Amino acid sequence: GALVAGVFFGSFGRNVNCRQLSVFFSLFVLVCVEKIVANATPQQTEQHIARNENLKTARYQDRCKLFDSIHARPMFPPTLSLRGAGPKTKSKKTGSTKAPKEKTSTKKEAPKESNGLLPPDSTPVVTGLLESHPGSRDIKIGKFSLEMFGKMLVEDTQIELNYGRRYGLLGSNGVGKSTLLRILAARLVPIPAHIDVFLLSEEARPSDLNAMQFVIKAVQDEVARLEAKSEALLEKLGPDSEELQEVYERLDALDPATFEKRAGELLHGLGFDKARLAVPTKSLSGGWRMRVALAEALFIKP
Protein backbone atom coordinates (compact mmCIF):
# COMPACT_ATOMS: atom_id res chain seq x y z
CA GLY A 1 0.00 0.00 0.00
CA ALA A 2 2.82 2.38 0.81
CA LEU A 3 4.44 1.62 -2.52
CA VAL A 4 1.21 2.33 -4.39
CA ALA A 5 0.76 5.57 -2.47
CA GLY A 6 4.29 6.55 -3.29
CA VAL A 7 3.80 5.95 -6.99
CA PHE A 8 0.51 7.89 -6.86
CA PHE A 9 2.04 10.90 -5.13
CA GLY A 10 5.06 10.79 -7.40
CA SER A 11 2.94 10.73 -10.55
CA PHE A 12 0.20 13.20 -9.66
CA GLY A 13 1.79 15.34 -6.98
CA ARG A 14 2.03 19.00 -7.96
CA ASN A 15 4.58 20.18 -5.43
CA VAL A 16 8.00 19.13 -4.22
CA ASN A 17 6.77 17.89 -0.83
CA CYS A 18 4.48 15.28 -2.40
CA ARG A 19 7.26 14.01 -4.59
CA GLN A 20 9.66 13.79 -1.66
CA LEU A 21 7.01 11.91 0.31
CA SER A 22 6.61 9.42 -2.55
CA VAL A 23 10.35 8.74 -2.58
CA PHE A 24 10.29 8.20 1.19
CA PHE A 25 7.38 5.70 1.00
CA SER A 26 9.05 3.75 -1.80
CA LEU A 27 12.37 3.48 0.04
CA PHE A 28 10.56 2.45 3.23
CA VAL A 29 8.76 -0.41 1.46
CA LEU A 30 11.94 -1.65 -0.21
CA VAL A 31 13.82 -1.68 3.12
CA CYS A 32 11.00 -3.62 4.83
CA VAL A 33 10.93 -6.24 2.06
CA GLU A 34 14.68 -6.61 2.20
CA LYS A 35 14.59 -7.19 5.97
CA ILE A 36 11.85 -9.78 5.67
CA VAL A 37 13.80 -11.71 3.05
CA ALA A 38 17.04 -11.45 5.02
CA ASN A 39 15.40 -12.73 8.24
CA ALA A 40 13.81 -15.77 6.54
CA THR A 41 15.33 -19.01 7.81
CA PRO A 42 16.48 -21.75 5.41
CA GLN A 43 13.68 -23.94 6.74
CA GLN A 44 11.06 -21.33 5.83
CA THR A 45 12.58 -20.98 2.38
CA GLU A 46 12.47 -24.76 1.80
CA GLN A 47 8.87 -24.89 2.97
CA HIS A 48 7.93 -22.12 0.57
CA ILE A 49 9.63 -23.94 -2.34
CA ALA A 50 7.98 -27.26 -1.42
CA ARG A 51 4.57 -25.59 -1.21
CA ASN A 52 5.01 -24.14 -4.70
CA GLU A 53 6.10 -27.52 -6.09
CA ASN A 54 3.08 -29.24 -4.55
CA LEU A 55 0.81 -26.62 -6.07
CA LYS A 56 2.33 -27.12 -9.52
CA THR A 57 2.00 -30.91 -9.21
CA ALA A 58 -1.67 -30.63 -8.20
CA ARG A 59 -2.43 -28.36 -11.14
CA TYR A 60 -0.68 -30.75 -13.54
CA GLN A 61 -2.65 -33.72 -12.21
CA ASP A 62 -5.92 -31.80 -12.61
CA ARG A 63 -5.07 -31.03 -16.23
CA CYS A 64 -4.23 -34.69 -16.89
CA LYS A 65 -7.57 -35.80 -15.42
CA LEU A 66 -9.42 -33.26 -17.57
CA PHE A 67 -7.58 -34.43 -20.70
CA ASP A 68 -8.35 -38.09 -19.96
CA SER A 69 -12.01 -37.32 -19.32
CA ILE A 70 -12.29 -35.51 -22.68
CA HIS A 71 -10.78 -38.42 -24.62
CA ALA A 72 -12.93 -40.95 -22.74
CA ARG A 73 -16.14 -39.33 -23.96
CA PRO A 74 -17.90 -40.29 -27.20
CA MET A 75 -17.33 -37.92 -30.10
CA PHE A 76 -20.91 -36.64 -29.87
CA PRO A 77 -23.13 -36.73 -26.80
CA PRO A 78 -26.26 -38.87 -27.20
CA THR A 79 -28.41 -35.75 -27.44
CA LEU A 80 -26.28 -33.95 -30.04
CA SER A 81 -27.29 -33.82 -33.70
CA LEU A 82 -25.51 -32.59 -36.79
CA ARG A 83 -28.31 -30.30 -37.84
CA GLY A 84 -28.82 -27.34 -40.10
CA ALA A 85 -31.64 -24.94 -40.69
CA GLY A 86 -32.47 -26.34 -44.10
CA PRO A 87 -35.79 -25.99 -45.92
CA LYS A 88 -38.71 -27.02 -43.77
CA THR A 89 -41.02 -29.81 -44.87
CA LYS A 90 -44.78 -29.63 -44.66
CA SER A 91 -46.47 -31.32 -41.78
CA LYS A 92 -49.35 -33.72 -42.04
CA LYS A 93 -51.77 -31.03 -40.79
CA THR A 94 -51.20 -28.94 -43.94
CA GLY A 95 -52.37 -31.73 -46.21
CA SER A 96 -48.94 -32.85 -47.37
CA THR A 97 -48.81 -35.82 -49.71
CA LYS A 98 -45.50 -36.98 -48.27
CA ALA A 99 -44.94 -40.69 -48.75
CA PRO A 100 -44.86 -42.87 -45.66
CA LYS A 101 -41.53 -42.96 -43.93
CA GLU A 102 -39.46 -46.03 -44.64
CA LYS A 103 -36.95 -47.04 -42.03
CA THR A 104 -33.89 -49.02 -42.85
CA SER A 105 -31.56 -50.20 -40.14
CA THR A 106 -28.02 -51.44 -40.52
CA LYS A 107 -25.62 -53.20 -38.25
CA LYS A 108 -22.59 -54.37 -40.08
CA GLU A 109 -18.85 -54.52 -40.07
CA ALA A 110 -16.76 -52.83 -42.71
CA PRO A 111 -15.87 -54.96 -45.75
CA LYS A 112 -12.28 -55.91 -46.21
CA GLU A 113 -11.62 -53.22 -48.82
CA SER A 114 -14.14 -50.44 -48.11
CA ASN A 115 -13.02 -48.77 -51.35
CA GLY A 116 -9.67 -48.06 -49.72
CA LEU A 117 -11.25 -45.55 -47.34
CA LEU A 118 -10.52 -47.48 -44.14
CA PRO A 119 -7.34 -49.16 -42.91
CA PRO A 120 -7.17 -52.83 -43.99
CA ASP A 121 -6.78 -54.03 -40.39
CA SER A 122 -9.79 -52.06 -39.11
CA THR A 123 -13.15 -53.68 -38.41
CA PRO A 124 -15.52 -50.88 -37.39
CA VAL A 125 -18.95 -51.87 -36.13
CA VAL A 126 -21.57 -49.42 -37.38
CA THR A 127 -25.27 -49.22 -36.62
CA GLY A 128 -27.78 -46.74 -37.97
CA LEU A 129 -31.43 -46.22 -38.86
CA LEU A 130 -32.51 -44.21 -41.92
CA GLU A 131 -35.31 -41.97 -40.68
CA SER A 132 -35.62 -39.65 -43.68
CA HIS A 133 -37.51 -40.47 -46.87
CA PRO A 134 -35.37 -42.60 -49.25
CA GLY A 135 -35.98 -40.15 -52.09
CA SER A 136 -35.27 -37.00 -50.09
CA ARG A 137 -32.17 -34.85 -50.49
CA ASP A 138 -31.97 -34.50 -46.73
CA ILE A 139 -30.35 -37.26 -44.70
CA LYS A 140 -31.45 -38.20 -41.21
CA ILE A 141 -29.87 -41.22 -39.53
CA GLY A 142 -30.97 -42.14 -36.03
CA LYS A 143 -29.52 -44.48 -33.42
CA PHE A 144 -26.09 -44.12 -35.01
CA SER A 145 -23.21 -45.81 -33.21
CA LEU A 146 -19.62 -46.38 -34.26
CA GLU A 147 -17.11 -48.70 -32.60
CA MET A 148 -13.50 -48.83 -33.78
CA PHE A 149 -10.74 -51.08 -32.44
CA GLY A 150 -12.94 -51.97 -29.49
CA LYS A 151 -13.47 -48.30 -28.57
CA MET A 152 -16.91 -46.70 -28.77
CA LEU A 153 -16.42 -43.43 -30.68
CA VAL A 154 -20.08 -42.54 -31.23
CA GLU A 155 -23.01 -44.01 -29.32
CA ASP A 156 -26.74 -43.66 -30.01
CA THR A 157 -26.41 -40.35 -31.87
CA GLN A 158 -28.52 -38.69 -34.54
CA ILE A 159 -26.98 -37.40 -37.76
CA GLU A 160 -29.04 -34.90 -39.73
CA LEU A 161 -27.66 -33.34 -42.92
CA ASN A 162 -29.96 -30.95 -44.78
CA TYR A 163 -29.57 -30.12 -48.46
CA GLY A 164 -27.80 -26.82 -49.14
CA ARG A 165 -26.15 -26.57 -45.74
CA ARG A 166 -22.45 -26.76 -44.80
CA TYR A 167 -21.18 -28.52 -41.72
CA GLY A 168 -17.95 -28.79 -39.77
CA LEU A 169 -16.65 -31.29 -37.23
CA LEU A 170 -14.94 -30.03 -34.09
CA GLY A 171 -13.09 -32.26 -31.65
CA SER A 172 -9.75 -33.15 -30.13
CA ASN A 173 -7.24 -35.33 -31.92
CA GLY A 174 -8.14 -39.00 -31.91
CA VAL A 175 -11.85 -38.70 -31.12
CA GLY A 176 -12.88 -40.02 -34.55
CA LYS A 177 -13.60 -37.08 -36.88
CA SER A 178 -11.80 -38.55 -39.89
CA THR A 179 -13.14 -42.01 -39.12
CA LEU A 180 -16.71 -40.71 -39.15
CA LEU A 181 -16.18 -39.10 -42.57
CA ARG A 182 -14.65 -42.30 -43.95
CA ILE A 183 -17.58 -44.32 -42.62
CA LEU A 184 -20.01 -42.00 -44.42
CA ALA A 185 -17.97 -42.09 -47.65
CA ALA A 186 -17.79 -45.90 -47.54
CA ARG A 187 -21.61 -45.97 -47.15
CA LEU A 188 -21.48 -48.13 -44.04
CA VAL A 189 -24.57 -46.19 -42.95
CA PRO A 190 -27.86 -46.22 -44.89
CA ILE A 191 -27.26 -43.30 -47.26
CA PRO A 192 -29.70 -43.30 -50.22
CA ALA A 193 -28.16 -44.38 -53.52
CA HIS A 194 -29.09 -41.17 -55.37
CA ILE A 195 -26.82 -39.10 -53.08
CA ASP A 196 -23.19 -38.86 -54.22
CA VAL A 197 -20.37 -38.88 -51.70
CA PHE A 198 -16.87 -37.59 -52.47
CA LEU A 199 -14.20 -37.76 -49.77
CA LEU A 200 -11.21 -35.47 -50.29
CA SER A 201 -8.90 -36.67 -47.54
CA GLU A 202 -5.51 -36.91 -49.21
CA GLU A 203 -3.54 -35.75 -52.22
CA ALA A 204 -3.74 -37.32 -55.68
CA ARG A 205 -1.81 -40.57 -55.87
CA PRO A 206 1.58 -40.51 -57.67
CA SER A 207 1.35 -41.72 -61.28
CA ASP A 208 2.76 -41.16 -64.76
CA LEU A 209 -0.20 -38.93 -65.63
CA ASN A 210 0.25 -35.19 -65.47
CA ALA A 211 -2.19 -32.98 -63.58
CA MET A 212 -4.43 -32.35 -66.60
CA GLN A 213 -4.61 -36.04 -67.54
CA PHE A 214 -5.26 -37.06 -63.94
CA VAL A 215 -8.25 -34.73 -63.57
CA ILE A 216 -9.70 -35.66 -66.97
CA LYS A 217 -9.40 -39.38 -66.23
CA ALA A 218 -11.21 -38.93 -62.91
CA VAL A 219 -14.05 -37.10 -64.65
CA GLN A 220 -14.23 -39.77 -67.36
CA ASP A 221 -14.59 -42.41 -64.64
CA GLU A 222 -17.40 -40.35 -63.11
CA VAL A 223 -19.17 -40.14 -66.48
CA ALA A 224 -18.90 -43.89 -66.91
CA ARG A 225 -20.37 -44.41 -63.43
CA LEU A 226 -23.29 -42.10 -64.15
CA GLU A 227 -24.00 -43.76 -67.49
CA ALA A 228 -24.11 -47.18 -65.84
CA LYS A 229 -26.38 -45.76 -63.15
CA SER A 230 -28.72 -44.22 -65.74
CA GLU A 231 -29.09 -47.56 -67.52
CA ALA A 232 -29.93 -49.30 -64.26
CA LEU A 233 -32.49 -46.65 -63.37
CA LEU A 234 -34.05 -46.80 -66.82
CA GLU A 235 -34.63 -50.52 -66.47
CA LYS A 236 -35.85 -50.30 -62.90
CA LEU A 237 -37.93 -47.10 -62.77
CA GLY A 238 -38.62 -46.23 -66.41
CA PRO A 239 -37.86 -43.12 -68.48
CA ASP A 240 -40.10 -40.81 -66.42
CA SER A 241 -38.17 -41.33 -63.18
CA GLU A 242 -37.20 -38.11 -61.44
CA GLU A 243 -33.98 -39.69 -60.23
CA LEU A 244 -33.11 -40.67 -63.80
CA GLN A 245 -33.65 -37.11 -64.98
CA GLU A 246 -31.25 -35.86 -62.32
CA VAL A 247 -28.59 -38.27 -63.59
CA TYR A 248 -29.12 -37.03 -67.15
CA GLU A 249 -28.70 -33.46 -65.93
CA ARG A 250 -25.43 -34.40 -64.27
CA LEU A 251 -24.18 -35.97 -67.51
CA ASP A 252 -25.13 -32.90 -69.53
CA ALA A 253 -23.39 -30.62 -67.03
CA LEU A 254 -20.12 -32.57 -67.26
CA ASP A 255 -20.04 -32.34 -71.10
CA PRO A 256 -17.03 -34.41 -72.29
CA ALA A 257 -16.35 -31.88 -75.09
CA THR A 258 -15.21 -29.31 -72.51
CA PHE A 259 -13.09 -31.57 -70.30
CA GLU A 260 -9.69 -30.18 -71.27
CA LYS A 261 -10.74 -26.53 -71.18
CA ARG A 262 -12.46 -26.71 -67.80
CA ALA A 263 -9.74 -28.83 -66.21
CA GLY A 264 -7.12 -26.34 -67.42
CA GLU A 265 -9.06 -23.40 -65.97
CA LEU A 266 -9.40 -25.11 -62.60
CA LEU A 267 -5.73 -26.07 -62.41
CA HIS A 268 -4.62 -22.61 -63.54
CA GLY A 269 -6.78 -21.08 -60.81
CA LEU A 270 -5.02 -23.34 -58.29
CA GLY A 271 -1.58 -22.06 -59.32
CA PHE A 272 -0.50 -24.42 -62.11
CA ASP A 273 1.44 -22.86 -64.98
CA LYS A 274 2.05 -24.43 -68.38
CA ALA A 275 5.33 -26.05 -67.35
CA ARG A 276 3.94 -27.59 -64.17
CA LEU A 277 0.91 -28.97 -66.00
CA ALA A 278 3.26 -31.20 -68.03
CA VAL A 279 4.95 -32.70 -64.94
CA PRO A 280 3.77 -36.21 -63.88
CA THR A 281 2.01 -36.31 -60.54
CA LYS A 282 4.69 -38.66 -59.18
CA SER A 283 7.19 -35.79 -59.54
CA LEU A 284 4.98 -33.26 -57.75
CA SER A 285 5.19 -32.52 -54.05
CA GLY A 286 2.38 -33.44 -51.69
CA GLY A 287 1.04 -29.88 -51.69
CA TRP A 288 0.73 -29.74 -55.48
CA ARG A 289 -0.84 -33.21 -55.63
CA MET A 290 -3.40 -32.01 -53.08
CA ARG A 291 -4.27 -29.21 -55.50
CA VAL A 292 -4.78 -31.82 -58.23
CA ALA A 293 -7.18 -33.72 -55.97
CA LEU A 294 -9.01 -30.47 -55.18
CA ALA A 295 -9.37 -29.71 -58.91
CA GLU A 296 -10.85 -33.19 -59.36
CA ALA A 297 -13.46 -32.55 -56.68
CA LEU A 298 -14.31 -29.10 -58.07
CA PHE A 299 -14.78 -30.53 -61.55
CA ILE A 300 -16.99 -33.46 -60.55
CA LYS A 301 -19.14 -31.40 -58.15
CA PRO A 302 -20.76 -34.34 -56.32
As a whole number of angstroms, the distance between CA 182 and CA 201 comes to 9
**For residue 213, what pLDDT is reported?**
92
Supply the pTM of this predicted model. 0.50
Query: What's the helix, strand, coil split of the chain in %, to 5?
Result: 50, 10, 35
**Cβ-defined contacts of 177-180 (< 8 Å, 24+):** 177/75, 179/118, 179/124, 179/146, 179/148, 179/153, 180/75, 180/146, 180/153, 180/154
Candidates 104, 151, 143; CA nearest to 125 is 151
* pLDDT tens series, the chain, 302 aa: 554 555 555 555 455 565 666 666 666 666 665 566 556 566 666 776 777 777 767 776 666 665 555 444 444 444 334 444 344 444 444 444 444 444 444 455 544 445 556 665 667 888 899 999 888 889 999 999 988 888 888 888 899 999 888 888 888 888 888 888 888 888 888 888 888 888 887 888 899 999 999 999 988 998 998 899 888 888 888 888 888 888 888 888 888 888 889 999 999 999 999 899 999 999 999 999 999 999 988 888 87
The maximal CA–CA distance of the chain, rounded, in angstroms, is 103
Question: Going edge to edge, which strands form the sheet with 151-161?
Answer: 81-82, 151-161, 139-148, 125-130, 104-109
* Cβ burial, residue 141 (10 Å; 0-12/13-18/19+): buried
